[in-house]
Amino acid sequence: MQDHVQTKRDRSRRWFDSGFSITCLLIASLVVVILVCLISGILWQGAPWLRPSFLWNAHHENQPNESGIGQAIIGSGMVCLICGMFALPIGIGTAIFLEEFRPRNRWLKWFHNLVQLNISNLAGVPSIVYGILGVTAFVYMFGVFGKIQTDRPSDYEIGIHYMYQIKTIGGDYVTFPCEDKFQTLYSVDRPLMVTNAKGETFELNVLPKGASRPSDDGLRSRSVFAGKNASITSQKEFYHMQLPFHKSALAAGLTLALVILPIVIIASQEALRAVPNSLREAAFGMGATRWQVVRGTVIPSATPGIMTGAILAMSRAIGEAAPVLAVMGGVLSSTLGLTNLMDSTPTLPVTIYRWAQDDNRAFEGLSAAAIIVLLLFLLVMNSAAVLIRYRAEKNKG
Amino acid sequence: MLRNECKLLASQRFLQTKRLAGLAFLSAVLLFASCDSTKKDGSTGGKTAGDATTEVNNTLSGTIKIEGSSTVGPISSKAREEFNKKFPKVNISVGEQGTSNGFSSFGKKETDISDASRPIKDKELAACNEAGIEFYEMPIAYDGLTFVVNKENDFCKELTIDQLIAIFRQDTAAKTWKDVHPDWPDEKIALFIPGIQSGTHDYCVEVLGKKDNQGLRADATQSEDDKTLVTGVKGDKYAIGFFGYSYYEASKDELNAVAIVNTSGVAVPPSVSAIEDGTYEPFSRPLFIYVNKDSFQRAEVEEFVSFYLDNIVDIVKASDYVPLPQKMYDLVRKTLDDDQVGTHYYDATGKKNEGSLDQIFSGPAVSKPKAE
């Protein structure tokens, strides 16, 4: 009797056990099936559009055949570079501070705990919230440095030269230097030294109002009527900077840096914690200072872990659309491309988003093609992370 | 906010801790490396934009900011592309955050030109006045569509919105003409409609199905090529189709247009005049651009706006919209030439003007209607 009950319970126990593992297997394969469906759908939709010209062309309105993601790739690359440049040093530095330089002073301890608590909480904040923060903090800079207006240059800027341009009777534009950048118009009433597009400098021929137009083409392109307004324009160097940052690649990169900062910090902390304490103690035992311990022992052995975390954080950054959309608006293409950090630029995720809802449905295919490119980037980055981890483990072993 | 504080605090600590100088050096190296790549990115971007056709004017430079309606955006983007072929050094950005957002930025002097799928509202006008912004109001196109049937079709002369819903919408999808009207023949309806790639399709969905979240029926013959639609309707006595008004104009002899019963209960056949005076509704509306007068003083903006107007018919057609009659464009140009700033949609007492587009634009522009 006792035996019989035991077997029965045993059998149902085993039955339940195998049933549960089958359920788990089904759920797991469901995930895989969904993934395969999604990816094959995207491949099927996007593959016909994947051509070499797609990779370097810019977006063209209503012309899917001529459109591409050239500017978006450069834009994404630049934004991610800025993001990494700020997020990685600050994030890794913070992690080292939190893990290796634990304060002994009561107030510093309190500060230390505050930072730690905030970082744990911030890792879960949705990225659009950071986007809104980025708009206030970077695009407008809380209005501290003045408003952004089309008729008023920024008070704080470098790498920009102002000049006036005026249309000659011949239809060409000539420029001459500008002394006061806040004066947007300049009425030309006397001869000035001007420069044309070919770089030739000559004296502007100012004709009195109502005079007849010269017939000679050369003269026409050197003449204006008195009283005509020249308007201000500018030439920007590649290092052009201004405050506030406006809707720029720099503002977008900084916003993305905020998004991934908690991820970088937490991943680096984990990597530092994984370094055995015996290593630190041995180094201290040799008479090393705290900096020497961190520099010579802890960081080298934590580097693979930190790198992995950094790469995974960067692949999050490259795929983010919401904060970029909030900061730069949905730019699809720009005339001159990205010439300096103050330009706004399309990025891959934003391009995908805009194309997917374009009036011209052919852009849905292009959107899928852009997704394939983005997925390839992510795949490369993630396999780099896996490879680094694998190498590190092999070295340890 | 917390995030930023946290970052600031962290970076302050970072600087205080001089022992981390090594890492600071590392970030400096990274900074340098990225500056280098900025330069590289910049030059490639410039080069692609530089390759253009022969009659290029490289002498004009500058920046133009456009923001506003996503309906008008494609027209402005098209204008931007064509303009940049001629003036490659003018940097133009076209945003599509919606008419209201566009006017909000316009009223803060953040943009030079505002795209709008409706006239400016009194509140937006007040904001412009407060900021000291004067502007030119320029209608540029009609967004409209025309329903057509076979020449031999002698029963379907007019349709109500409800009948159109019955014919075209996915959920109602009338099979025969009898299902639409009991007096009409018991013949199968053949449908020829613009494909889902077309803006015209979307506009029809917006009018007929948006409030109930319904699309157009899938069993219709769809084509991006208007010619296919014309041939299709021409070849079947019991066919119906629709496309942009401008295309109907081009194939008037081969097809009959159906009058649409508007909200006042009058059946109005599509025509330039009916589209103009606003009686051909709900399938037409004017689209506008608003140009800041101060910005217009700048050479690049003036050049862009006059290029826009000079090539307006081509630009509008290339973006699948209905151009205004030439008379309207002449009026628009006159608005610029006579320096008429302000809106035509209000009179001096602040009352809203009603009537056809050309009646409205024949009147004076008012920049500061008296507040009620």
CB of A137 within 8 Å of a chain B CB? The answer is yes
Sequence-distant (6+) residues with CB within 8 A of A35 are none
A148 or B293: which leads in pLDDT: B293
pLDDT tens sequence across A126-164 = 999 999 999 999 999 998 888 888 878 888 999 998 999
Interface contact flag, B299 A171, Cβ < 8 Å: no
Type and span of the H or E element at A26: helix A2-46
Interface contact flag, B202 A261, Cβ < 8 Å: no
ipTM of the complex: 0.81
A6-20, A36-50, A82-96: least confidently modelled range: A6-20
Average pLDDT, integer, range A222-239: 89
pLDDT value at residue A179: 86
Give the residue from chain A lying closest to B199, CA to CA. Answer: A359
Chain A: give the shortest CA distance to residue B79, in Å. 10
pLDDT value at residue B253: 83
pLDDT range class, residue A7, cuts 50, 70, 90 = confident
Interface contact flag, B92 A338, Cβ < 8 Å: no
pLDDT range class, residue A373, cuts 50, 70, 90 = very high
Strands B135-150 and B239-244: antiparallel
Interface contact flag, A92 B23, Cβ < 8 Å: yes
Interface contact flag, A165 B62, Cβ < 8 Å: yes
pLDDT at B370 over 80: no
Give the residue from chain A lying closest to B34, CA to CA. Answer: A81
Chain B: give the shortest CA distance to residue A33, in Å. 29
CB of A148 within 8 Å of a chain B CB? The answer is yes
pLDDT range class, residue B36, cuts 50, 70, 90 = very low
pLDDT value at residue A3: 59
A86-95, A114-123, B77-86, B271-280: least confidently modelled range: B271-280
pLDDT range class, residue B48, cuts 50, 70, 90 = very low
Cβ-Cβ contacts under 8 Å, A344 against chain B: 93
CB of A53 within 8 Å of a chain B CB? The answer is no
Mutate to test the interface with B, among A263, A306, A336 (most CBs of B within 10 A): A336
Chain B: give the shortest CA distance to residue A104, in Å. 15
3-state secondary structure (DSSP) of residue A383: helix
pLDDT at B272 over 80: no
pLDDT at B1 over 70: no
Interface contact flag, A184 B294, Cβ < 8 Å: yes
N-to-C CA span, chain B: 42
Cβ-Cβ contacts under 8 Å, A238 against chain B: 38-39, 42
pLDDT tens sequence across B119-145 = 888 888 999 999 999 999 999 998 777
CB of A331 within 8 Å of a chain B CB? The answer is yes
Interface contact flag, B196 A361, Cβ < 8 Å: yes
pLDDT range class, residue B45, cuts 50, 70, 90 = very low
CA angle B284, B290, B291 (to 5 degrees): 150
Interface contact flag, A362 B109, Cβ < 8 Å: no
Chain B: give the shortest CA distance to residue A123, in Å. 10
Average pLDDT, integer, range B165-183: 86
Task: Give the Å distances, CA to CA, from A126 to A138, A182, A259, A320, A321.
Answer: 18, 41, 9, 11, 12
Mutate to test the interface with A, among B9, B11, B61, B295 (most CBs of A within 10 A): B61
Residue A266 is which amino acid? I
pLDDT range class, residue B46, cuts 50, 70, 90 = very low
CB of A165 within 8 Å of a chain B CB? The answer is yes
pLDDT at A266 over 60: yes
Cβ-Cβ contacts under 8 Å, B82 against chain A: none
Asked if residue B140 lies in contact with residue B308, where contact means CB atoms within 8 angstroms, the answer is: yes
In angstroms, the CA B113 to CA B111 distance is 6
Main-chain dihedrals φ then ψ at residue A242, nearest 5 degrees: -150, 160
Interface contact flag, B42 A338, Cβ < 8 Å: yes
Average pLDDT, integer, range B322-330: 86
List the structure tokens of A77: 């690359």
Share of chain A above pLDDT 70, in %: 97
pLDDT at B371 over 70: no
pLDDT range class, residue A2, cuts 50, 70, 90 = low
Cβ-Cβ contacts under 8 Å, A121 against chain B: 2
pLDDT value at residue B305: 95
Cβ-Cβ contacts under 8 Å, B11 against chain A: 90, 93
Residue B326 CB neighbours (<10 A): 10
pLDDT value at residue B40: 35
B172 or A16: which leads in pLDDT: A16
Instruction: Tell me, rounded to whole angstroms, the distance of Cα A114 from its chain centroid.
Output: 29
pLDDT at B354 over 70: yes
pLDDT value at residue A359: 62
pLDDT tens sequence across A81-106 = 999 999 999 999 999 999 998 888 89
pLDDT at A320 over 90: yes
Cβ-Cβ contacts under 8 Å, A337 against chain B: 41-42, 44-46, 48-49
A53-144+246-396 folds as MetI-like fold (1.10.3720)
Cβ-Cβ contacts under 8 Å, B4 against chain A: 133, 137, 258
Cβ-Cβ contacts under 8 Å, A295 against chain B: 22
Sequence spans of domains, chain A = 2-49, 53-144+246-396, 156-243
Average pLDDT, integer, range A231-258: 92
pLDDT range class, residue B217, cuts 50, 70, 90 = confident
CB of A337 within 8 Å of a chain B CB? The answer is yes
pLDDT range class, residue B243, cuts 50, 70, 90 = confident
CB of A366 within 8 Å of a chain B CB? The answer is no
Main-chain dihedrals φ then ψ at residue B290, nearest 5 degrees: -115, 125
Interface contact flag, B299 A150, Cβ < 8 Å: no
Sequence-distant (6+) residues with CB within 8 A of B41 are A74, A77, A78, A337, A338
Interface contact flag, A339 B45, Cβ < 8 Å: yes
Share of chain A above pLDDT 90, in %: 55
Asked if residue A322 lies in contact with residue A129, where contact means CB atoms within 8 angstroms, the answer is: no
Mutate to test the interface with B, among A67, A182, A265, A359 (most CBs of B within 10 A): A359
pLDDT value at residue B174: 83
pLDDT range class, residue A396, cuts 50, 70, 90 = low
pLDDT at B35 over 50: no
Q: How many CB pairs under 8 A join A and B?
A: 204
pLDDT value at residue A302: 92
pLDDT at B168 over 60: yes
pLDDT value at residue B170: 84
In angstroms, the CA B352 to CA B345 distance is 6
Chain B: give the shortest CA distance to residue A370, in Å. 19
pLDDT at B68 over 50: yes
pLDDT range class, residue A69, cuts 50, 70, 90 = very high
Instruction: Give B283-343 as a DSSP string.
Output: SEEEEEEEEEHHHHTSHHHHHHHHHHHHTHHHHHHHTT-EEPPHHHHHHHHHHHHTT--BB
pLDDT range class, residue B303, cuts 50, 70, 90 = very high
Residue B11 is which amino acid? S
pLDDT range class, residue A79, cuts 50, 70, 90 = very high
Rounded to two decimals, the pTM is 0.75
Nearest to B38 among A96, A125, A238 (CB): A238
pLDDT value at residue A102: 85
A88-102, A324-338, B8-22: least confidently modelled range: B8-22
Mean residue pLDDT of chain B comes to 78
pLDDT value at residue B317: 80
pLDDT value at residue A72: 94
